[in-house]
Homo-oligomer: A and B are copies of this chain.
């Protein structure tokens, strides 16, 4: 039995907690410590070491990979280049438009430090991105569609809650079944984001509120709802707490391609149905932490993305075991 991979977690919100739980399921990893700006935090597991972020520098020789669980807006652009000097890392940077410059800023550091740093890991970017690229590579003549949901949208839930007469509420984005069926038929239609998605709101009313007025205000809200097929359900506070307390998400990547002289339809579809978005994203990060450690041990360095990494590197078994049992 080879030595376990020593993992650290930096940042302890929903994603950090998910990473803690995912590491505990792995046969070949041990969690060394959790680091937070808040100092020691209350962890899910017992006997988990929790320290202030400033103590991380003492762990350079005790941690093989640091999982960076901060946010993309302000944490990661600062933390990843700083920690890539000291540690192999994985992160979930997801500001799509800024990924190229983020990659450069991390790569510059890790080329000098000799560390291996995998950026933008998760499901989108991440697993969805892999499927978009592989499908297009295999069926070059074709079109790729991404649908999101069923997923809880924070921004749209906030918008619903700002409506007068709304006491509490949540909003889910759902893919349109009709649009997906059209794509699956191989017709390669043009589909706008609003044609491809529906919105569902679950709303608790203030006592004196008029449901008709609230429903109309939501459905006609510009930018948020007016262009979408929107449904508003009125529920009680108890129902909201009981049925809408999770953070589900998911989606579909569908590639419709054509091959041969007869233009045969070939459909590749990848989908996720997640009861907990942060726990799943954290699970992807933890699997890629394994890859960061293995690639670093092979002598590789620099910033990497999921595109650079062979699928076998994220699985605990060896290449020979995978060839025997999974190919």
Identify the A interface with B (CB < 8 A): 18, 21-22, 25-27, 44, 96, 99-100, 103, 120, 125, 127, 129-130, 132-134, 136-141, 184, 246, 257, 259-262, 264-276, 279-280, 283-284, 287, 290, 305-312, 314-316, 319-320, 322-324, 326-327
Contact = CB atoms under 8 A, between A and B. Distances in A.
Contact of A137 (B261, B316, B323): B316
A129 B314 contact: no
Total copies of this chain within the assembly: 2
A252 to B, nearest CB: 9
Nearest to A312: B307
A259 B144 CA distance: 30
A259 B287 contact: no
A321 to B, nearest CB: 10
A96 B327 contact: yes
Contacts of A264: 246, 274-276, 279
27 contacts: A18-B259, A18-B260, A25-B259, A26-B140, A100-B324, A125-B327, A127-B138, A130-B311, A132-B326, A133-B311, A134-B314, A137-B290, A137-B311, A137-B314, A138-B284, A138-B287, A140-B316, A184-B273, A246-B264, A267-B271, A269-B273, A270-B270, A306-B311, A307-B323, A307-B327, A308-B319, A309-B310
Given A272-B267, A276-B264, A133 B326 contact: yes
Contacts of A271: 267-270
A274 B99 CA distance: 34
Given A138-B284, A276-B264, A133 B100 contact: no
A327 B44 contact: no
A260 B284 contact: no
Given A133-B326, A140-B27, A287-B137, A44 B261 contact: yes
B315 A327 contact: no
A134 B129 CA distance: 14
A204 to B, nearest CB: 23
Given A99-B323, A308-B312, 19 more contacts: A22-B259, A100-B323, A129-B327, A133-B311, A133-B315, A134-B314, A137-B315, A138-B287, A139-B280, A257-B283, A259-B276, A259-B279, A268-B271, A269-B270, A269-B273, A307-B312, A307-B322, A307-B327, A308-B310
A315 to B, nearest CB: 4
A320 B44 contact: no
Contacts of A319: 305, 307-308
Contacts of A22: 259
